[in-house]
């Protein structure tokens, strides 16, 4: 699902992402690093998937 989000967003808009806030699920981190490697990641520790 996150893959689909980034694909729909497109590379031009994805390149503008500076910060990604997410739960601690490893899949979120992996897909974010794949699609927006320039983005810093901030974890929401209340959501521990």
In tens, the pLDDT along 3-27 reads: 999 999 999 999 999 999 998 889 9
Whether 49 maps to a domain, the answer reads no
Whether 48 maps to a domain, the answer reads no
Would you state the pLDDT for residue 27?
93
pTM: 0.79
Contact 42, 21 (CB under 8 A): yes
Q: Which residue range is the domain that position 30 belongs to?
A: 2-43
Question: How many independent structural domains does the chain possess?
Answer: 1
């Amino acid at each position: 699902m996150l893959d689909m989000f980034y694909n729909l967003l497109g590379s031009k808009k994805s390149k503008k992402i500076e910060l990604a806030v997410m739960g601690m699920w490893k899949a979120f981190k992996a897909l974010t690093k794949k699609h927006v490697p320039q983005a810093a990641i901030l974890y929401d520790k209340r959501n521990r998937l």
